[in-house]
């Protein structure tokens, strides 16, 4: 039941947002009363914490990890795996899109979660770009931290356009071009 509640909350937070969905909505989706749901989760914040934790499962992160000394192809593969997962689970992509946007308010219960998640992602990607630049795989003229911020920005921003207009926006081709072409060093073919 705990897993079913997390699934129901994931779906509702993705479509209606954390703020738009009520604790009672999640209970109703499970065919139970709000009082019944409190047996598993005391309140909506506890549901949100469980949803976010589920999204960050170590197994999920490990599957899509960048190898220690990445080539440009390794970074591209990493990014394309993330996109493939989002295309397979558009509900989770929408959840991320809506919750991260809501969480820009300092008072949102997931504000620290998203702020820290992006800090960590920028760090990991900065390290990966640093090594890839040293290997001659990524253009050296731009600081690795800037590249990390841009790549995360491209992922979120192109995904937003894709979620709004999946027929018109080829998310995979667009992001692939960014990593494998725009980030290639000048001398590469």
Q: Which is nearer to a second copy, 46 or 101 (by Cβ)? A: 101
Nearest approach, Cβ of residue 34 and a second copy (Å): 19
- The SS3 call for residue 169 is coil
d(CA 81, CA 71): 15
Nearest approach, Cβ of residue 185 and a second copy (Å): 10
Is 101 a binding residue for a second copy by CB under 8 A? The answer is yes
Is 38 a binding residue for a second copy by CB under 8 A? The answer is no
Contact between residue 161 and residue 167 where contact means Cβ atoms under 8 Å apart: no
Is 88 a binding residue for a second copy by CB under 8 A? The answer is no
Is 34 a binding residue for a second copy by CB under 8 A? The answer is no
167 burial class (0-12, 13-18, 19+ CB within 10 angstroms)? exposed
- The SS3 call for residue 108 is coil
Is 22 a binding residue for a second copy by CB under 8 A? The answer is no
Is 48 a binding residue for a second copy by CB under 8 A? The answer is no
Tokens of 125: 């990607």
117 burial class (0-12, 13-18, 19+ CB within 10 angstroms)? middle
Q: Which of 33, 38, 53, 161 binds a second copy (CB under 8 A)?
A: 161
Contact between residue 102 and residue 17 where contact means Cβ atoms under 8 Å apart: yes
* The residue to which tokens 């947002």 are assigned: 17
Residues between 112 and 131 that touch a second copy (CB under 8 A): 114-115, 118-119, 122
Q: Which residues bind a second copy (CB under 8 A)?
A: 15-17, 19-20, 94, 97-98, 100-105, 107, 111, 114-115, 118-119, 122, 139, 141-142, 146, 149-150, 152-161, 163-165, 168-169, 173-174, 177-178, 181-183, 186
């Amino acid at each position: 039941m705990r897993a079913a509640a997390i699934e129901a909350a994931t779906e509702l937070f993705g479509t209606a947002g954390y703020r738009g969905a009520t604790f009672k909505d999640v209970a109703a989706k499970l065919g139970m009363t709000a009082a019944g749901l409190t047996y598993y989760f005391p309140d909506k914040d506890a549901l949100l914490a469980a949803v976010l934790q589920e999204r960050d499962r170590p197994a999920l992160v490990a599957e899509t990890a960048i190898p220690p000394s990445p080539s440009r192809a390794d970074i591209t593969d990493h990014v394309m795996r993330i996109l493939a997962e989002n295309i397979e689970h558009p509900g989770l992509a929408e959840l991320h899109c809506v919750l991260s946007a809501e969480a820009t308010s300092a008072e949102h219960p997931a504000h620290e979660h998203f702020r820290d998640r992006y800090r960590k992602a920028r760090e990991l990607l900065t390290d990966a770009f640093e090594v890839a630049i040293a290997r001659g795989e990524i253009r050296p003229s731009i600081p690795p931290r800037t590249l990390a911020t841009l790549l995360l920005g491209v992922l979120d921003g192109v995904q937003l356009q894709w979620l709004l207009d999946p027929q018109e926006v080829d998310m995979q081709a667009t992001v692939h071009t960014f990593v494998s072409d725009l980030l290639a060093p000048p001398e590469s073919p």
